[in-house]
A and B are shown apart, each in its own frame.
Chain A
Amino acid sequence: MTSTVRRLLLLLPTLFGVSIVVFLLLRLIPGDPAQVIMGLRATPEGLAAITRDLGLDLPLHEQYVRWLGALFSGDFGRDYRSNVPVTQLLATRLPVTLELTLLSLLLALIVAVPLGVRAAVHPNGIADKAASVLGLIGISIPDFWLGILLVLVFSLTLGMFPSSGFVPFSDGIFANLRAFALPALTLATGLSAVLVRVTRSAVTEVLSRDFVRFLKAKGLPPRAIINRHVLRNASVPIITVIGMQFGYLLGGAVIVEQVFDLPGVGSLIVTATMERNYPVVQAGMLVVALLFILVNLGTDLLYAWLNPRLRGGAR
């Protein structure tokens, strides 16, 4: 338990650093926020009033403290354009991104883990060859290009799936999943490539251990050896990689949401960057970084739980 607490405490400096990066990035970007808000209607008096309202005339460290204080009370600022609280925007955008990433993760797991296991059990077999091809092409193919190709084949030519757009869950789970099918497949490909490689090498390694030979000698059927013993022992590297790759999924979501016109956090950040809508960019980056950090923490904890040798504390 103490190691869990220590890990949580170690997060604090990282979170502090993340907040500084996100805050400073806004100062780096050329252009005056007040000008962005007022646009063409800008008058000197109006600009001065907005600058005062936003606290932009204060020294940098005071601005930071004010901003951080507001964050802790749940105030992420307001959208410069629509004046809607940013938290409200995030509340509608985040579920879309989460559904996309979770569906992709699920899809990657369903395809890559069994394929990787089969490739390890039968080296040089068909599954092994398929795994090598997926492992190489999957990490090399640009996800936005794959998305475009999928649209070209499955929606423009075959008409099986919509080419873009989002259908909320409330419109029925089937329609919702249909809209997510191509984006999730696109996003899952890169992850599958990494996962199939890791699964294959992890299972190969476990298969070479003495206890597997013992179980075989004992006469346990191969299927039981794999399902009951090998997979559990191979799960640690697989889970670690999933945790590390979650950041890739979040990053990939930025692109995939753009390709398929999905209203997620990624497309929110991109649009806001183009419009110089700083509070939205900041909030989006914070949320994504926070998610990433939390998933890594969860992976660490799960890792320790699966692998008791790594648990700290009394020995």
Chain B
Amino acid sequence: MSMAASSRLRALSKPTPAAIGAAIVLLLAALAVLAPYISPYDSESMDFNAVLSPPSLAHLFGTDNFGRDVLTRALFGLRVSLIAAIGSVAAAMVVGVPLGLLAGYRRGFVDAVIMRPVDVIMAFPAIVLVVALAGVFRQSLGLMTLAIGFVYFPIIVRVMRGAAIEVSDALFVEGARARGASRVRIMARHVLPNAITPVLVQASALMGVAILMEAAISFIGLGVQPPTPSLGLMLSDGRSYMGDAPWLVICPGLGILVAVLGFNLMGDGLPRLLDAANRRRK
């Protein structure tokens, strides 16, 4: 065994930040999917004998001002967070990847037609645009998810375009061109697979950003509406009671933090992971 290989093996056996991130993401995803089966209470059932009760064995994270179990609501809120994150990033990728690929491969006029509107969207801070769109999506989770995707697709376009430009000059692309492969085939079979890594890294980071965005919009009252549990909404409701019941703001915030942290850790380590996978394939 070469020295490089043995050091790589050692690196693999030690949990990398990326592995920890992936583990967090998987765990949270499992919790969110299984929420209806594993949560100790019903997310909307109220118990007026246990209003604002502190964390105990019966209620691990305490109860809120309606006597609802905070842990249960946080698990259901996590579902909303993940739906918004996966939905919006998927939407941003579906629109952004082809546009960025086209702009980066064709350059010139096509590039300008695609990139000028993208520049315009990026001239607004993301949250300002989502807030303004809130009037359009009117508190529907689906539409809000699309609005978040709309605000972030320019980032995907830019990263995809940059990577496509770099790959388009490679010899194997020229070779395909010389062989007379069609433009679509070159873009899909040769440019895309070799340019997608930075886009996936960006997408992983965007998942975290999208979770923050959903929570923020719901927090200021323009997103998910009660009684649907959203971590952001739980925070804004809990604020009024936090002097007496700090667990109301600690638990949901911690949930958001851990979820975003998971995606960020995973994104940081993704390039090396994908690189290793590529090498193994070859």
Contact = CB atoms under 8 A, between A and B. Distances in A.
Contact of A273 (B125, B222, B243, B265): B222
B153 to A, nearest CB: 14
Interface string B246-282: 1001101100110011001100000000000000000
Q: How large is the interface on A (under 10, 10 to 19, 20 to 34, 35 or more residues)?
A: 35 or more
B261 A273 contact: no
A21 B216 contact: no
A254 B131 contact: yes
Interface in A264-292: 266, 269-270, 273-274, 276, 281, 284-285, 288-289, 292
Interface stretch (A58-66, A81-89, A140-148, A301-309): A140-148
A81 to B, nearest CB: 16
B116 A142 contact: no
Contacts of B221: 274
10 contacts: A17-B119, A28-B136, A136-B264, A142-B260, A145-B257, A148-B235, A149-B249, A270-B220, A273-B131, A285-B129
A235 to B, nearest CB: 24
Interface string B132-154: 11111010000000000000000
Contacts of B264: 136, 139-140
Interface in A119-163: 136-137, 139-145, 148-149, 151-152, 156
A137 B216 contact: no
Given A149-B253, A273-B132, A285-B132, A250 B120 contact: no
A165 to B, nearest CB: 15
Contacts of B116: 13-14, 17
A252 B209 CA distance: 12
Contacts of B253: 142, 145, 148-149
A142 B260 CA distance: 9
Given A28-B135, A30-B135, A250-B125, 20 more contacts: A17-B120, A18-B120, A21-B124, A136-B264, A139-B208, A141-B260, A143-B216, A144-B232, A152-B242, A251-B126, A252-B127, A254-B127, A254-B220, A273-B132, A273-B134, A273-B222, A274-B222, A281-B135, A285-B128, A288-B128
Nearest to A250: B125
Closest 7 CB pairs of A and B: A17-B120, A251-B125, A145-B253, A29-B135, A251-B127, A140-B261, A140-B260
Contact of B135 (A141, A273, A284): A273
B159 interface: no
A149 B219 CA distance: 15
Contacts of A151: 242
B107 interface: no
Nearest to B116: A13
A292 B131 contact: no
B129 to A, nearest CB: 8
Nearest to A266: B128
Nearest to B120: A17
Contacts of B129: 285
A247 interface: yes
A292 B123 contact: yes
B128 A145 contact: no
B95 interface: no
A166 interface: no
Contact of A254 (B128, B242, B252): B128
A199 interface: no
Contacts of A141: 257, 260
B243 A156 contact: yes
Contact of A144 (B120, B138, B216, B242): B216
Interface of B: 116-117, 119-121, 123-129, 131-136, 138, 208, 212, 215-216, 219-222, 232, 235, 239, 242-243, 246, 249-250, 252-253, 256-257, 260-261, 264-265
Contacts of A274: 221-222
A291 B232 CA distance: 28
A273 B135 CA distance: 6
A145 B256 contact: yes
Which DSSP category, helix, strand, loop or mixed, fits chain A's interface?
helix
A258 interface: yes
A13 B121 CA distance: 12
B216 A25 contact: no
Contacts of B242: 148, 151-152, 156
A288 B124 contact: yes
Name, among A136, A250, A273, A285, the residue most crowded by chain B CB atoms within 10 Å (CB to CB). A273
Contacts of A29: 135-136
A37 to B, nearest CB: 16
Contacts of A195: none
A293 interface: yes
A255 B127 contact: yes
Contact of B125 (A136, A149, A247): A247
Interface string A233-256: 000000000000001101110110
A273 B212 CA distance: 20
Contacts of B257: 137, 140-142, 145
